[in-house]
Amino acid sequence: MRFFSDNAAAAHPKVIEAIAASNRIDTAYDGDEWSRRLDGAFSDLFETEVRALWVTTGTAANCLSLAALCPPYGGIICHKDAHIEVDEAGAPGFFTGGAKLILVDGPGAKLTPEAVSAACDRIRDDVHQVQPAALSITNATEYGLVYRASEVAALGELARQRGLAFHLDGARLANALASTGDSPADATWRAGVDTLSFGFVKNGGLNAEALILFRTELADEIAVRRKRAGHLASKGRMLAAQILALLEGDLWLDNARAANAAAQALAHAAPGRLLYPVDANEIFLKASADEAARLRSLGIDFYDWGEGEIRLVTSWDQRSEEVDRVAAALSGL
């Protein structure tokens, strides 16, 4: 029973079908019929004109954006536990040509306008200190908390005032929207977001993520950067087809709801152990080494997070009997 990461789950059968169905010759790169439908599909979803590019990983989606939003000599404000800081092997430094991540703290990897403002205020406005050029948040956060649209909007307003571009790492945006009920538009561009890494791989996709540009004028530059970073697949249709399959009939939202529901079931089984509220599909729990061992002896696979802490992540395809068994195991600790 794998609760290790949604990262490693299987792809949805419709995604595999879509790959097979797109397996015929068409124009190379992103000139094919599937890729050419992406802009329209996402413009509909977001209720505004956007440009959408497929990429194969969230790291690439995040860092291609950041490179377009922040000059090599600028800074990107993010949480100290943000994925771009902690788990991307320094990719932001590589893609931007050496921009600096300016780290801000806050519970549950969530940023507040106050914390961001304070970070900006600590920086002297001279050539000796790196000046902030962009703000990046993750929704849902790395600890499974969600920003409501109004919270994103407060950060967006601050970004506007401070002259910062605003990037949203939405590796689990689907889970966040399934949790809050906010519309895609409200949680992004209406809240001031400029670019979005819209995650599909953790939510039923195989290896396709979407990079959504609400500032459409960035698309040409980012398309060049995508090629230059070796991310322009020659048979891009297979990436576009995956995304279109997940957009079809809001399958992406159904998948996220399923994962969230499984997480709620686990959270309710062990309310006293929760380290953070469970807003999306990640559950962080207190558990001693002995308790962790006991869970593992029951065939449950998860991540040791820190001393006395464990992380479980639920996926779109988590089977209910597995969820029940894990919930029972947690209750019984």
Q: Is the Cβ of residue 183 or residue 303 nearer to its own copies in the bound state?
A: 303
Contact criterion met (CB below 8 Å) for 147 and 114: no
Question: Residue 238 carries which side chain, given as an amino acid letter?
Answer: M
Cβ pair 206, 233 in contact under 8 A: no
Smallest gap from Cβ 222 to its own copies, in A, equals 10
Task: Give whichever of 50 and 61 is closer to its own copies, judged by the CB atom.
Answer: 61
15 vs 270, which CB is nearer to its own copies? 15
Rounded to whole angstroms, the Cα distance separating 297 from 89 reads: 33
Minimum CB distance to its own copies, residue 76 (Å): 11
Return the closest-CA partner of residue 95 out of 210, 208, 230.
230
CB 91 within 8 A of CB 61: no
Q: Tell me the closest approach of the beta carbon of residue 72 to its own copies, in angstroms.
A: 6
For its own copies, give the closer residue by CB, 155 or 232: 232
Shortest distance, CB of residue 310 to its own copies, whole angstroms? 16
Compute, in degrees rounded to 10, the torsion defined by CA atoms 288, 292, 293, 298. Answer: 150
How many CA atoms within 13 Å lie on the side-chain side of 220?
1
CB 206 within 8 A of CB 255: no
| Other residues' Cβ atoms within 10 Å of the Cβ of residue 129 | 12
Question: Cβ 68 to its own copies, closest distance in Å?
Answer: 10
> What residues make contact with its own copies under the rule CB under 8 A?
2, 4-5, 7-11, 16, 19-20, 23-29, 55-57, 59-61, 63-64, 71-73, 75, 86-91, 93-100, 127-131, 201-202, 206-207, 221, 223-235, 238-239, 315
Question: Which CB, 142 or 151, lies closer to its own copies?
Answer: 142
Nearest to 312 by CA among 329, 320, 300: 300
Residue 268, CB-side half-sphere exposure with 13 Å CA sphere = 8
Q: Which is nearer to its own copies, 100 or 190 (CB)?
A: 100
Q: In the bound complex, what is the minimum distance in angstroms from residue 111's beta carbon to its own copies?
A: 19
Minimum CB–partner distance for residue 7 and its own copies (Å): 4
Tokens, residue 257 = 């709801």
Pick 167 or 225: Cβ nearer its own copies: 225
